[in-house]
């Protein structure tokens, strides 16, 4: 039980090398571009399902995953690349591109928080590599993501109270987000286990 709840792991994995700055440049570029594209794909899947002003998408799977697999710096860069693509190509959830999208979307705060959420996940999971550790790291990234998202939503949607914003922008997504976090943590932990460092 103690091992399951441990945040740190002494077991090294080849996957950890992808997070290091000295990793091959080609691998880093592929990782950044790959997670940016995964975020874009997540935006298109179920992009038309809305709980009030905020859409249900699979984007956060890629946001959290980019932090875990790529680390803080490259996870942040992957999400910045995604946001940059959206300035020219319709890769955001719903309709619209560019600065105009942010001006009109009540959920734009979540998008702007993606790079920072990925960076937090990447920073914390540098040492917290176990199933429990990566889960806690993603919970911290989720807290930042929803804090920024709900704050933006409150003013953009002109809600009468903060409780309305918290309800519509966070509480209705808690179960969905927890399911995503658990899914990503299980995948990450499994992948690390499949590629131990001694086999690299």
Average pLDDT value for residue range 179-192: 94
What pLDDT score does 199 carry? Answer: 45
Would you list the domain boundaries of the chain? 12-199
* pLDDT at residue 72 in the model: 96
Contact 118, 61 (CB under 8 A): no
| Beta carbons within 8 Å of 69's beta carbon, 6+ residues apart | 15, 18, 19, 31, 35, 75, 188
Which stretch of 73-77, 93-97, 196-200 has the lowest confidence by average pLDDT? 196-200
Predicted pLDDT of residue 51 = 62
pLDDT in tens, 6-25: 666 667 777 787 787 778 89
pLDDT digits (tens, 9 = 90+) for 94-133: 777 888 888 878 889 999 999 999 999 999 999 888 999 9
Distances (CA, A) of 145 to 7, 20, 108: 22, 24, 11
pTM above 0.85, yes or no: yes
The residue with greater pLDDT, 65 or 20, is: 65
CATH number for the region 12-199 comes to 1.10.1760.20
Kindly tell me the sign of the dihedral angle through the C-alpha atoms of 101, 94, 188, 200: negative
Percent of the chain's residues with pLDDT above 70: 90
Which of 77, 72, 83 has the alpha carbon at shortest distance from 137?
Answer: 72
């Amino acid at each position: 039980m103690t091992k399951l709840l441990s945040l740190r792991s002494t077991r090294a994995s080849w996957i950890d090398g992808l997070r290091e700055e000295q990793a091959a440049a080609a691998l880093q570029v592929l990782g950044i571009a790959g997670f940016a594209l995964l975020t874009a794909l997540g935006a298109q899947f179920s992009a038309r399902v809305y709980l009030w002003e905020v859409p249900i998408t699979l984007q956060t799977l890629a946001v959290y995953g980019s932090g875990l697999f790529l680390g803080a710096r490259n996870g942040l860069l992957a999400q910045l690349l995604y946001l940059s693509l959206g300035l020219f190509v319709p890769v955001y959830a719903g309709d619209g591109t560019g600065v105009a999208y942010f001006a009109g979307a009540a959920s734009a705060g979540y998008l702007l928080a993606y790079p920072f959420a990925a960076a937090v996940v990447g920073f914390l999971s540098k040492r917290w590599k176990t199933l429990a550790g990566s889960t806690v790291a993603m919970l911290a990234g989720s807290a930042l993501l929803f804090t920024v998202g709900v704050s933006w939503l409150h003013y953009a949607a002109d809600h009468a109270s903060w409780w309305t914003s918290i309800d519509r922008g966070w509480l209705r997504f808690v179960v969905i987000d927890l399911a995503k976090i658990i899914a990503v943590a299980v995948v990450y932990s499994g992948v690390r286990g499949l590629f131990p460092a001694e086999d690299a």
